[in-house]
Amino acid sequence: MHNDLFSIGPLTVHGYGLMIGLGVVAALCLSWRRARVRQLDDDFVTNIAIALLLMGFLGAKVLYVIVSWKDFLADPWAVLGTEGFVIYGGIIGGLLAVYLYCRKKKESFFRWMDIIIPGVALAQGLGRIGCFLAGCCYGRPTDSWLGVVFPAGSMAPAGVPLLPTQLFSAAGDMLIAVILLLLDRKKHEEGMLTVWYLLMYAVGRFCIEFFRSDYRGAVGFLSTSQFISILIAALALLLAWRLKKRSASHEE
């Protein structure tokens, strides 16, 4: 809950940026290791990561602009200049980047996604700790012992006990990473690890939205993220069906 961690001369190290950076490094290290175990080119992981990061950050900002459209129309530079991002935009942008890059290089999209996806979940978990330090993505007011009071200057309302939904999300993302690594020990169709990630993340995100208090748009009675979660879960189930069907046809 303290975003400004320390300063070295004129340089101030922010908790949010530091945790994002640590997440990227952790994801790369895990993905490099997974590629080497499969005797695949770990340089390809690096190239994928660059494309994913660029398109991921762009996608997250674009979706933030969309859900903040009225504010954007009133003052575009104020919206673009904030630290606001919507993670689902990053996921969609990142998936698109990996797909296009793999298609350009004539590589299997699902093979490489299965390699990097546990690292993606790990990076998200570390990034959510950064959210906690910055005070963004905060939860509803609470009288329970779980309540966290954020100081003045953070992105969360100051002086009010709030549910630490950032830490709930961080724990959930890291749990997803562990589950994916355990599932990967068993034989499965290429692409199923990515499907499991999409399904678990969508369900978790849909649930955590009930406890968040920062407004980021709505679709009917659902938050924007809940609406997207339903679409992502449906896509995951469709992909699972197609992958199973393709595997069965190859066995015949």
Residue 68 has pLDDT above 90, yes or no: no
211 located within any domain? no
41 located within any domain? yes
246 located within any domain? no
251 located within any domain? no
Work out the pLDDT band at 80, boundaries 50, 70, 90: low
Q: How many domains, the chain?
A: 1
148 located within any domain? yes
For 173-197, the pLDDT digits (tens) are 999 999 999 999 988 888 999 999 9
What local confidence, expressed as pLDDT, does residue 79 receive? 58
**What does the angle CA 7 – CA 52 – CA 76 come to, to the nearest 5 degrees?**
65
Which range of residues forms the domain containing residue 93? 4-186
Name the token pair of 251. 């066995």
How does 164-203 read in b/e, with b if 16+ C-beta sit within 10 Å?
A: bbbbbbbebbbebbeebbeebeeeebbbbbbbbbbbbbbe
Residues forming beta bridges with residue 251, ordered by sequence position: none
Mean pLDDT of 7-29: 84
198 located within any domain? no
pTM: 0.89
193 located within any domain? no
Q: Do residues 227 and 241 touch, judged by C-beta distance below 8 A? A: no
Place of tokens 């530079």: 77
Work out the pLDDT band at 17, boundaries 50, 70, 90: confident
Work out the pLDDT band at 104, boundaries 50, 70, 90: very high
225 located within any domain? no
1-15, 39-53, 185-199: segment of lowest average pLDDT: 1-15
